[in-house]
Amino acid sequence: RASSAVENWHSILRPHLAVHRTLSAGLLALLAVWHNHRVFTRGVHKGTSPLHLSGMVDAPTNWLVALGYGPAASAAPALPPEPPPAILTLVA
């Protein structure tokens, strides 16, 4: 017998396993980090992650931040402001 939780994990892993036929330890660890930091979008626990439910209230909700990668906006250099558009005057 399978539970719905097992079927959920199977549906996540099945596309990868269909191509590669194996699951490395590193990929499994990465999947665990993603799973523990994802925020529930519906249900009783909406707005929380599995880490929040386990008592870690200050855990980041972005799994890339948990791995040490900052937000994309802070990584990009600031662009200089654009000059105002030129005003064209039509003379009749």
Please check the confidence at residue 6 and state whether its pLDDT lies above 60: yes
pTM greater than 0.85 (yes/no): no
First to last CA, the chain: 84
Helix orientation angle between 4-20 and 25-37, rounded to the nearest 10 degrees: 140
87: confidence class by pLDDT, cuts 50, 70, 90: low
The pLDDT tens digits for 17-74 are 777 788 788 888 888 888 888 888 989 999 888 989 889 888 888 888 888 887 655 5
Opening angle at CA 73, ends 70 and 74, nearest 5: 55
Q: Is the distance from CB of 61 to CB of 39 less than 8 angstroms? A: yes
